Structure 1
Amino acid sequence: MIKYQEIANDIRKNILAGQYLSGVQLPLEKEMCAQYNVSRITIKKAVDELVKLGLVIKRRGAGTFVKSIDDEDAKDLSMARQFTGFTETNKGKTLRTEIIKFDVVHPDKEIAAKLQIATDDFVYDIIRVRFADGMPIVIEYTKMPINLIPGIKKDVLLKSIYFYIQHQLKLKIQSAHRSIRAISPNALEIEHLKVRDSFPLLEVEQIAFLDDGRAFEYSISHHRSDQIVFKSVSIRQ
């Protein structure tokens, strides 16, 4: 892992652990340079990474601050509580999974950067359709590093990858950074989600992290817009 990514992960762990509380200023660049024994350029890259993750904000002439959540209800929601998978969010329904693709590949540069791995590492390349009560709800395009999440087989994909990660591998899923946008379906999604080409889908692009700061999943999920509701917490910048 590149040095600035290691530093960003360390600061991120400290934020999630409560060492840096919401609204608190991070140490100055020169202090972090001394702490991590690196240059200012490396610290700047690390902080920029935290800005992209939505954890901190830079204020010109003042420094870098941990983002604050002001809504009272939001204060009770840790990042871990907000992060759930398909199986957890559809409890009580009859669930089914159809595997469209399950390969092992090298990631391209963009995926490798998002997962903080090298392009000569290996990742699972997974496409799944998830059903609830017989209705196709979402098609998921997932990449996961094999060295971090070993042993995934088809029986895992047919159930819950997150259950496998937490209960079989004994890893703790901590948080996810998401982007949501509206899109039109492609031919694969028209076929498997049973929609027309004019039917809007909601795309959720996600990078998910373990509690030690390592990115274990990059995924793009395309949801039927008539079967899903997303709730969010707004953060004042």
Structure 2
Amino acid sequence: MLKYEAIARELREDIQQGKYTPGEQLALEKEMCQQYGVSRITIKRAVDELVKQGLVVKRRGSGTFVKSLKDEDVKELSMANQFSGFAATFKGRKVASKILRFEIIHPTAEVAAKLQLAVDDFVYDIIRVRLLDDRPVVVEYTQMPIQLIAGLKRQTLEKSIYSYIEKDLGYKIQSAHRTVRAVMPTDEEREQLQIEGVLPLLEVTQVAFLDDGRPFEYSIARHRGDYSNFRSVSIR
């Protein structure tokens, strides 16, 4: 990993963990050069990386400021929030999980290919309903390789799998490939998400990777269409 990437990651973690609050100014480039012992060009590249990720904004003549990740009372499918996990995204609010399925199975050929496994390997097969302030907002279908995410228990599923992966297993979640589309709910999803009438879901299909490049998760999350907001930052 290049030095500017490491600095960008550290700053991103500080923002995600609340060390910088929305609207707060980051240290000046000169101060960060002294803090990290690197050149001004390196700091500029690190900050530019955060700008691309939609976490900070540069204001000419003023400095660099943290953007708000909670402008609306909805679940934002931003990169930062996804990698923090559902529980961390809504820290301070009542978050719960309803476990519909927790089994060990062989992956299909399609899932095995995405997780770089053989079809005779084993994966956790998990279905959860995530609730925010007692309101069901998303159904998650997740598969993870057992040999990589070892020791996963039902108690962990009721809290945060991502926290377990990083804090207990000591891994670092790095990136994800996603596809987003609108779909109609199944009868089971309508029941679990308490949907009445016609309401499309926002489906996010994801393959997530650790910082060493290993895929650790294949998931399909189906969010209530009236309680989700997808955000994208485009850079020329």
| 1:73 equivalenced with 2:51 (yes/no) | yes
CA contact (8 A) 1:129 1:139 kept: yes
Is 2:127–2:139's contact at 8 Å kept on the other side of the alignment?
Answer: yes
Q: Which deviates the most, 226-235 or 172-181?
A: 226-235
TM superposition score normalised by structure 1: 0.67
Deviation at 1:93, TM superposition (A): 1.1
Aligned-partner residue type, residue 152 of structure 2: I
**Which residue in 2 is equivalent to 1:136?**
136
Aligned to 1:145: 145
Q: Which runs of 5+ in 1 are unaligned?
A: 1-12, 19-69
Matched, 1:93 2:71: no
Contact 1:190–1:197 (Cα < 8 Å) also in 2: no
Correspondence for 1:23: none
1:3-22 alignment, distance < 5 Å: none
Report the residue type matching 1:89 in the other structure.
Answer: T
Shift of 1:75: 5.7
Judge conservation of contact 1:128–1:139 (CA < 8 Å) in 2. Answer: yes
State the alpha-carbon separation in 1 of the partners of residues 118 and 54 from structure 2: 37
**Residue number in structure 2 paired with 1:160:** 160
> Which runs of no fewer than 5 residues in structure 2 stay unpaired?
7-47, 57-77
1:34-53 residue CA offsets vs partner (Å, 9 max, x unmatched) = xxxxxxxxxxxxxxxxxxxx
| Secondary structure of 2:138's aligned partner | strand
Structure 1 partner of 2:117 = 117
Provide closer, same or farther for how the CA distance between residues 144 and 235 of structure 1 changes in structure 2, counting only shifts above 3 A.
farther
Query: 2:202 is matched with which residue?
Result: 202
* Deviation (angstroms), 1:73: 2.9
Residues 71-99 of structure 1, C-alpha deviations (whole Å, 9 max, x = no match): 98326659974633111211221011100
Partners of 1:72 and 1:148 in 2: how far apart? 29
Deviation at 1:226, TM superposition (A): 1.3
TM-score by length of 2: 0.67
Partner of 1:52: none
Query: In structure 2, what is the equivalent of residue 184 of structure 1?
Result: 184
User: What CA distance in whole angstroms lies between the structure 2 residues aligned with 1:141 and 1:110?
Assistant: 15
* Counterpart-to-counterpart distance in 1, 2:174 and 2:215: 10
- Structure 2 distance, partners of 1:214, 1:155, is 25
**Residue 177 of structure 1: CA displacement?**
1.2
Query: Residues of 1 paired with 2:186 and 2:93: CA distance?
Result: 27
Check whether the contact 2:54–2:233 (CA below 8 A) recurs between aligned residues.
Answer: no
Partner residue, 1:217:
217
Could you tell me how far apart the structure 2 residues matched to 1:182 and 1:80 are? 19
- Alpha-carbon RMSD across the aligned residues, in angstroms, is 2.6
Conservation of the 8 A alpha-carbon contact between 1:99 and 1:158: yes
The amino acid that maps onto 1:96 is: A
CA distance in 2, matches of 1:74, 1:208: 19
How far the C-alpha of 1:234 sits from its partner, in A, is 2.1
User: What is aligned with 1:65?
Assistant: none
What is the aligned-residue identity percentage? 53
Deviation at 1:17, TM superposition (A): 5.2
